Amino acid sequence: MIGGLPIGFAAPWVLLALMALPVIWFLLRAIPPAPVKRRFPGVILLLGLKDDDSVTDRTPWWLLLLRSLALAAVIIGLAGPLLNPTPPSKSDAPVLVLLDGSWGAAKNWRRQTAMVESLLDEAARQGRRAALLNLGAPEKPQFQPAASVKNRLPGVVPQPWQADAETYATVLEMLDEDAFDTIWMSDGLEGARRDDLLSALEARGSVRVVEDPLGVHGLAPTVFDDGVLTITAVRSRAEITETLTVQAHGLDPSGTPRILATVPVRFLSGETSASSELSLPAELRSRISRFSIMGQDGAGAVTLSDDTLKRREVALISGREDREGLELLSPLHFLRQALKPNADLIEGTLEDVLPANPDVVVLADIAVLSPAEEKEVLEWVAQGGLLLRFAGPVMAASGLSVGEEDPLLPVRLRSGGRSVGGAMSWGEPKSVAPFPEGSPFFGLPVPDEVRVTAQVVAQPDPTLADRVIAELTDGTPMVTRKAIDQGQVVLFHVTANTEWSGLPLSGLFVQMLDRLAILSAVGVDDETRLSGLTWQPVQVLDGFGRSQEVHSLPGVEGDVLAKNALGPKLRPGLYQSGDKLVARNVLRADDTMEAAVWPLGTRIEGYLTAPVKDISGWFLAAALGIMMIDIFASLAVSGRLWGARIATVVLALVLMAPQADAQESRAIQDTREIALGHVLTGNDRIDQLAQDGLRGLSEVLFFRTSVEPSEPAPINLETDEISFYPFLFWPITPDQPIPSDEAYSKLNNYLRSGGMILFDTRDADVARFGAASPNGRKLQRIAASLDIPPLEPLPEDHVLTRTFYLLQDFPGRYASRDVWVEAAPADAEKIEGMPFRNLNDGVTPVVIGGNDWASAWAMDGRGNALYPVGRGRAGERQRELAFRFGVNLVMHVLTGNYKSDQVHVPALLDRLGQ
């Protein structure tokens, strides 16, 4: 530190050179700027004139100051100034950098690496040897020169587990007896045998511990209960009140990874865990693949979600299979509509459905099951199934569960049911009462328009009150529920169709089903789910919490997966067995995080906020800058800074400025109107020819058709946007550059999305198409990477022959007939009575020829042809045909297969006439 500033020097003795500055000042003062030689005839009048003595010929003071500053900056720069220097350590023992290297350190990994780097730099400056020991993947520390240790630093990454007792034991064995100082980069979490290691290290030298005072945050697995996601976060230090943002990641419907939801989690002071609830539509929820704490890396801050969030399988079983038609009256219709977006539906008979082990079975107005069926269903429910039953006329008439409670019904029923508000009954139809607290439907808004006109009525029972989860305004149950082992039975006391109530028509129905369907997978604990199976890892997390697909890791026993601690053999991630997918997260449901406790007297530091930085470069750059200024200042002083030189400098600066504006304004102009484009070849003459040619064609289009193009646009494939131009003219020269990969992807996109390129090899006078002319070979090279369909010579009945003019020849300056377009599909057929086939439903993406059309089209500003075509009148006719070809081509681009569709007009008219 110098004078309180956080600056130190690597080679302070160089600063002695600053003492020479005054000497240099005097030397510089004495040397005036060199004189300018000027021719001047009037010199004869100057002879004998003496310079005024009071005028100094010395360098102006400010120029001196400038130069002295430059020199001072050079000297200071060479002295190696360091920002935020660390006070040099007294010890010269080797340094051991000990990294915990667990996921807890991932959050600060970058800062930690920077700090280790600066520590190693410091050690290198002091000539101390150093070694690196990573507890995540321990190797015996070898003390080496600090610089070579620094080279290995980028290869050290945090691991998604913490060192266990065994690792600590290994490390303890590795340590030599020689003395060394230790810097322990702690992850802030309590380790298995941390104290033993610390005392072993302290026996060998001083120990500095570096850790983040803010502690570590983690995310426990998300719990799904009653349709609500409970997100729990834990932390190692409980001092402060803070709020974390947890993000839910997943694929959106287009398959793009996105953040699907965010939820804040607020820790109060003194709490080490906090949770937050998130209610999402089932569709969205089933897309969530992982939750993470925003802005924190680390496998602990990530929790993967598995099967429990996926779509349920719902089996729909209806008893009235014999009744035909009347789709809207089918009790399953509304269920189907309500469940289809959120669940996978299975329909069939119970025997067929139950072996598929659905999450939910819906029985709509089915009263009686065969004893075998009943047994099977009961078993299935006991294993965690949800049986959803709806009442109906059949059930009401069956006398089911009247005397004694049916095992598959939650309550006893009175026989016959009741109807209210009908023509033959007293009272009003009843509406739904607000849901009581504790009901899975609690909180759902109850719409007024839901009216119940008939229901099956429960017998009053001691257990009835507990089983009702929804009731009508008169207190009679509408939905009842009973738990059977791990599963449950839910009965709607109304029909699943609109016969008895308006419920299926309301949004409430969907919401209720949604809440219920979620309940199905809750309650199975991990061990039973996992044990007995071998689980194959499909995705594992690295220390930073990034998922990686894996295929080569061995499978893991279910018990191991459920119980063992994470390590190299058991990585956090997604494991698969059959169709089931489970997530093993770093933190499990009831895990807490213990902050590392260091014995009193341990030296604990935070991360360096400002790492040591070598700022000599800044000083040297400043010196260079000052010297640049000095050049101009010296020129100005000696009178040699002329307008031309200033202009050159200004011009250079202007040229360096980006020229995006021109392209942008051009783009705006070209998108406002239509413009033809030509690809720049780098040959000025050809480019000018293409520009003139397209200008000529644009003029002709303007006069003859309703296409009114603006000035043609020269296109640089590398820099310009080509999607604005429906038509590109591409003259081929043997020496033009092959476009870059980006340009090719642009071109292929362009061709796929309906653009057309006219390739012109301009050599039809000497070469046939495909012959090995230089231009033809070049075209082959250029087109090799383009997405060009199979080609054929332009057939006589191609739509290009009749989009505006009826043409059979397509001459340019040369009249070769070799013009190639996209080949017609093999099954294109001639329509009866029509001269042409219905060819090419769409625009041919390329037209290839060598007729040098641009020359035939080329016009100057006054509309005069620039290049001769043919001889005399025949030549003019050929030019006219060339223009017509151009018109047809542009029409073809702009109207697509419209003219081709015209083929059908006579047939349609014919049909109308009949």
Partner 1 sequence: MISFPQLRTRAEAEAARLPPLLAQAEHLAGTVLLGEHGRRRSGLGDDFWQYRPVQPGDSLRMIDWRRSARSDSQFVRQREWQVAQSVMLWADQSPSMGFSSSENTPTKGDRARVLALAIAILLIRSGERVGLTGTSLPPRRGEGQILRLTEMFLKSDEGDYGAPEARAMLPHARAVFISDFFGDFEATEAALFKAADRGIRGVVYHILDPAEESFPFKGRAIFESMGQGIQHETRKATDLRDRYLERLAERKDSLKQLCRTTGWQYGVHDTSQSSQAALLWLYRALEQRL
Q: Could you tell me the smallest distance in angstroms from the CB atom of residue 31 to partner 1? A: 12
The nearer residue to partner 1, 42 or 270, going by C-beta atoms, is 42
Distance CA 803, CA 727 (A): 15
Q: Which among 184, 165, 176 has a CA at the least distance from the CA of 99? A: 184
Which lies closer to partner 1 via its Cβ, residue 192 or residue 637? 637
Q: Residue 640 Cβ, how far from partner 1 at the closest point, in Å? A: 8
Work out how close the CB of 884 gets to partner 1 at its nearest, in angstroms, rounded to a whole number: 53
- CA-CA distance, 135 to 159, in Å (whole number)? 9
Residues 6+ apart with CB under 8 A from 768: 816, 818
Tell me how far apart the alpha carbons of residues 401 and 416 are, in angstroms, rounded to a whole number.
12
Place of tokens 């006991």: 382
CB of residue 78 vs partner 1: minimum separation in angstroms?
Answer: 33
d(CA 120, CA 116): 6
Stretch that binds partner 1, among 62-70, 139-147, 534-542, 632-640 (CB under 8 A): 632-640
- Select 647 or 766, whichever has its Cβ closest to partner 1: 647
Least distance between partner 1 and beta carbon 71 (Å): 23
CA angle 657, 659, 664 (to 5 degrees): 145
Among residues 47 and 423, whose Cβ is nearest to partner 1?
Answer: 47
Binding to partner 1 in span 55-84, by CB under 8 A = 55, 57
Q: Quick one: 610 or 644, whose CB is closer to partner 1?
A: 644
Q: Determine the residue type at 752.
A: R
Query: Do residues 602 and 593 lie in contact, with contact meaning Cβ atoms separated by under 8 Å?
Result: no
Element (H, E) at 25: helix 21-30
Cβ pair 812, 820 in contact under 8 A:
no
- Of 646 and 784, CB closest to partner 1: 646
- Smallest distance from partner 1 to CB 634, Å: 11
Residue 33 CB, nearest approach to partner 1 (Å): 6
Report the residue number, 31 or 628, with the smaller CB distance to partner 1: 31
Instruction: Pick the closer one to partner 1 by CB: 50 or 685.
Output: 50
Closer by beta carbon to partner 1, 35 or else 371:
35
Residue 422 CB-half CA count within 13 A: 12
CB of 39 to partner 1, least distance (A): 6
**What number of CA atoms fall less than 13 Å from residue 184's CA on the CB side?**
25
The interface with partner 1 within residues 173-212 (CB under 8 A) comprises none
| Pattern 425-464, partner 1, x by CB under 8 A | ----------------------------------------
User: Residue 627 Cβ, how far from partner 1 at the closest point, in Å?
Assistant: 21
Applying the rule CB under 8 A, the residues between 294 and 353 that interact with partner 1 are none
The correct pick among 346, 637, 823, 834 for binding partner 1 (CB under 8 A) is 637
Crossing angle of helices 507-518 and 331-339, in 10° steps, is 70
Nearest residue to 712 via CA among 677, 746, 682: 677
Is 4 or 42 the residue whose CB approaches partner 1 more closely?
42
Nearest by Cα to 885 from 794, 806, 784, 769: 806
Q: Which amino acid is at 278?
A: L
Q: How far is the CB of 54 from partner 1 (least distance, A)?
A: 9
Q: Nearer Cβ to partner 1, position 35 or 270?
A: 35
Show the binding pattern over residues 578-617: x = contacts partner 1 (CB under 8 A), - = does not. Answer: ----------------------------------------
644 counts as binding partner 1 under rule CB under 8 A: no
- Per CB under 8 A, the segment of 609-617, 636-644, 748-756, 892-900 that binds partner 1 is 636-644
**Nearer Cβ to partner 1, position 84 or 634?**
634
Instruction: Find the shortest distance in angstroms from Cβ 27 to partner 1.
Output: 18
Of 298, 263, 247, 259, which Cα lies nearest the Cα of 105? 298
Confirm if 618 and 247 have CB atoms less than 8 A apart.
no
User: Which of 671, 758, 746 has its CA nearest to residue 716?
Assistant: 746
How far apart, in whole angstroms, are the C-alpha atoms of residue 693 and residue 711?
11
CA atoms of 350 and 408, how far apart (whole Å): 14
**Residues in contact with partner 1, total (CB under 8 A)?**
25
The string over 297-322, giving b where at least 16 C-beta atoms fall within 10 Å of a residue's C-beta and e elsewhere, is bbbbbbbbbbebbbbbbbbbbbbbee
Distance CA 477, CA 806 (A): 81
Give the x-and-dash track for 385-404 against partner 1 (CB under 8 A).
--------------------
Instruction: Please say which residue, 16 or 30, places its beta carbon nearer to partner 1.
Output: 30
Closer CB to partner 1, 636 or 866, in the complex: 636
| Closer CB to partner 1, 152 or 640, in the complex | 640
Q: Which region among 410-418, 468-476, 633-641, 829-837 touches partner 1 (by CB under 8 A)?
A: 633-641
C-beta of 37: minimal distance to partner 1 in Å?
5
Q: Mask: binding to partner 1, 504-523, rule CB under 8 A, as x and -?
A: --------------------
- Binding part of the chain for partner 1, among 19-27, 60-68, 483-491, 631-639 by CB under 8 A, reads 631-639
Residues 26-55 that bind partner 1 (CB under 8 A): 32-47, 49, 51-52, 55
> What would the two tokens of residue 6 be?
């956080």
Strands 430-431 and 451-452: antiparallel
Of how many residues is the chain composed? 914
DSSP secondary structure string, 519-588?
Answer: GGGTT--HHHHHTTSEEEEEEEE-TTS-EEE-SSSPPEEHHHHHHSPPBTTB-SEEEEETTEEEEE-SS-
* Least distance CB 32 / partner 1 (angstroms): 6
Among 427, 460, 639, 754, binds partner 1 (CB under 8 A): 639
Residue whose entry in the numeric block shows the structure tokens 């690295």: 542
- Name the helix (H) or strand (E) containing 818: none
Give the nearest distance from C-beta 24 to partner 1 in angstroms. Answer: 21
CB-based contacts of 476, cutoff 8 Å, min separation 6:
430, 455, 457, 458, 493
The distance of closest approach from Cβ of residue 849 to partner 1 in the complex, given in angstroms and rounded to an integer, is 51
Footprint on this chain of partner 1 (rule: CB under 8 A): 32-47, 49, 51-52, 55, 57, 637-640
